[in-house]
Amino acid sequence: MLTISCGLNLQYNPTFVIRKRSMDLREIIISSSKEAYQIYVPHISVDTVIFGFNGDRLTVLLLKMKFNEQWFLPGGYLKKDENLKSAATRILKEKTQLDHIFLQEFSVFSDLNRSEETFKDFPDDLWHKKRFISVGYYALVNYKNISLIADELSESCDWIFLHDLETLPIIMDHHKIIKKALSALRKQISYKPIGLNLLPEKFTLPELQKLYEAILGRSLNRGNFYKKIKNIGILKKLNEQRKGGAHKAPDLYTFDRENYFRILQNGISNW
């Protein structure tokens, strides 16, 4: 089982981990601002929306700030010597220890005054108080074997069910960013195969249908789904059945990896 320790959003580098124990949060933020000017490109940030699937419903990974009890997406800034994709990968790893996750860019958030409010009580030259244009990345992971623990500063991080988001206090426009990511994910399954790394090596068609239903947020007609998913050409039927259920043992399938990756590259041809 992989254990994830969620880091503090304002923790830029290892020296901070030591220093912050003897500082209060306000001082940490002000001090991190000075470092930020040296390391990062101003005005550009990255937010990552990590959707989790455990065989049933979709969740999203959120962190919790201690100083105002609000939740936020794993995010950070663009270093002067990296591109956005590298930044997103690095930030996700720093904040959640999640590694080797394929991150898909989906939208840019550039409204005026989207981030200024959060740091309104801080000095005007605070890095975090600048106008930031945030580039969103999303990923979909199987979190069945991942457990999360908060770090020593008592921030917590958790997989939040999508339907619980509405009532959760979430900072800035992160709610809008999550919605847009979900909309992008739903579009993606119109032209890209999905499921590898989310389902076990061998799976049944009802299990695959559950994944599609969890993403789309609605039930699908079984016969129609089976016909369409088989037509894409990414499934290999195995000579085995899933035993032990109350019903007739369903056939097991696996992904035809060669076709899967070819179609992932070229897109599902709907025309």
Q: Does 219 bind its own copies (CB under 8 A)?
A: no
Query: What is residue 166's DSSP assignment?
Result: G
Rounded Cα distance between 249 and 2, Å, is: 32
Binding mask 104-143 for its own copies (x = CB under 8 A): -x-xx-xxx------------------x-x-x--------
- Among residues 44 and 150, whose Cβ is nearest to its own copies? 44
8 A C-beta contact, residue 220 and residue 207: no
According to CB under 8 A, which one of 30, 39, 84, 126 is a site residue for its own copies? Answer: 84
8 A C-beta contact, residue 97 and residue 5: yes
Q: Does 190 bind its own copies (CB under 8 A)?
A: yes
CA contacts within 13 A on the Cβ side of 50: 29
Query: What is residue 249's DSSP assignment?
Result: P
Q: How many residues does the chain have?
A: 271
Q: Does 42 bind its own copies (CB under 8 A)?
A: yes
Selected range binding its own copies among 64-72, 75-83, 119-127, 171-179, rule: CB under 8 A? 75-83
Q: Does 220 bind its own copies (CB under 8 A)?
A: yes
8 A C-beta contact, residue 61 and residue 138: no
What is the SS3 assignment for 51? strand
Query: What is residue 131's DSSP assignment?
Result: -
Q: Does 55 bind its own copies (CB under 8 A)?
A: no
Q: Does 259 bind its own copies (CB under 8 A)?
A: no
Q: Does 41 bind its own copies (CB under 8 A)?
A: yes
List contacts with its own copies (CB under 8 A).
41-44, 78, 80-85, 105, 107-108, 110-112, 131, 133, 135, 186-187, 189-191, 212, 216, 220, 224-225, 228, 267-268, 270-271
